[in-house]
């Protein structure tokens, strides 16, 4: 999908051995009075996937700003995927949203799978930022606490032992001939970002889109998250026949409807 796109912009993040060159695309607003969109993709995905492309077209048609980027070790960004952690990718998300925002900007964070977890974490960090306000959240099959609930806790004891010994394991992928490589650093770093089972308060409206046939992030995971958000205005849409990707035409239409609602 990238052949007909212009080269992305880049932002250098980190210092010394941790420095990496992050690729991003930013569409400025033509209607500056409305919130912009900020995309956070999933684990092993990139910013030129079908949902991000659809959101870019939506932003263009509605005069909204739209920012998307590749985490380090993903897509067009530099860095080693095997060095990736939630802390590292969250740092990149925060740096990109600040680099593409001006004082008083409002953003709707749209996060898919792991990006849903990162969107919640980023929204928490931005509560302390006077320049960027999170206007709302759209979470697509949000893999909140995935390094614990969906990875570590699902591993048999022998696989856990191998990860602790070798520092990594390989896991077959439903989306690629190449296996996922999960690292001990990813799992251990993720523990400092877990929401657990406590109350979560974002202070903005939240739409959760969940495929009823999702086997990667099961519907029960979205239901648990919704139950943890009693202080916010939350809409949970369970999409019959939807899988983890939620990239069908009808899924993208539902995504647009959710953003329309948040825009008012």
Tell me the percentage of the chain whose pLDDT exceeds 90.
91
More confident residue, 41 or 131: 41
Whether 3 shows a pLDDT value over 60: the answer reads no
* Residue 241 CB coordination number (10 Å): 10
Element spanning 183, H or E: strand 180-183
Q: What is the mean pLDDT of residues 118-147?
A: 96
Phi-psi region of 49 (alpha: psi -120 to 50; beta: other; left: phi over 0): beta
Position of tokens 């849903």? Answer: 116
209: closest CA among 228, 237, 250, 242?
237
Q: What is the mean pLDDT of residues 218-234?
A: 98
- Strand 9-13 and strand 180-183: the pairing is unpaired
| pTM score of the predicted model | 0.96
Q: Where are the domains of the chain?
A: 9-144+195-263
User: Which tokens in the block code for residue 221?
Assistant: 């995971």
Q: Into which CATH architecture does domain 9-144+195-263 fall?
A: 3-Layer(aba) Sandwich (3.40)
181 and 73 Cβ atoms separated by less than 8 Å: no
Q: What is the pLDDT of residue 4?
A: 59
Q: What is the mean pLDDT of residues 81-86?
A: 97
The CA radius of gyration of the chain, in Å to the nearest whole number, is 18
Q: What is the pLDDT of residue 171?
A: 86
Q: What is the mean pLDDT of residues 103-122?
A: 97
User: Which tokens in the block code for residue 215?
Assistant: 């086997």
Query: What tens digit of pLDDT does each residue of 6-30 get?
Result: 899 999 999 999 999 999 999 999 9
Whether 75 shows a pLDDT value over 60: the answer reads yes
Strands (E), 102-173: 105-112, 132-140, 168-171
């Amino acid at each position: 999908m990238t052949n007909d796109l212009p080269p992305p912009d880049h932002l250098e993040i980190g210092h010394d051995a941790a420095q990496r060159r992050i690729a991003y695309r930013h569409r400025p607003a033509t209607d500056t009075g409305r919130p912009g969109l900020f995309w956070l993709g999933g684990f092993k995905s990139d910013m030129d996937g079908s949902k991000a492309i659809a959101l870019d077209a939506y932003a263009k048609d509605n005069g909204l700003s739209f920012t998307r980027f590749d985490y380090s070790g993903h897509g067009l960004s530099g860095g080693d995927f095997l060095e990736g952690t939630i802390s590292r990718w969250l740092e990149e998300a925060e740096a990109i949203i600040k680099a593409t925002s001006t004082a008083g900007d409002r953003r709707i964070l749209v996060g898919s799978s792991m990006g849903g977890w990162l969107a919640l974490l980023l929204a928490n960090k931005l509560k302390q930022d006077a320049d960027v306000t999170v206007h709302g959240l759209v979470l697509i099959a949000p893999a909140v606490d995935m390094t614990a609930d969906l990875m570590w806790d699902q591993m048999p004891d022998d696989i856990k032992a191998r990860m602790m010994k070798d520092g990594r394991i390989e896991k077959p992928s439903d989306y690629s001939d190449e296996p996922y490589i999960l690292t001990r650093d990813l799992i251990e770093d993720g523990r400092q970002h877990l929401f657990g089972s406590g109350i979560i308060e974002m202070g903005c409206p939240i739409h959760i889109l969940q495929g009823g046939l999702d086997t990667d992030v099961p519907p029960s995971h979205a239901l648990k998250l919704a139950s943890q958000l009693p202080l916010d205005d939350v809409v949970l849409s369970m999409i019959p026949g939807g899988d983890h990707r939620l990239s069908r035409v009808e899924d993208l239409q539902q995504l647009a409807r959710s953003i329309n609602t948040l825009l008012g």
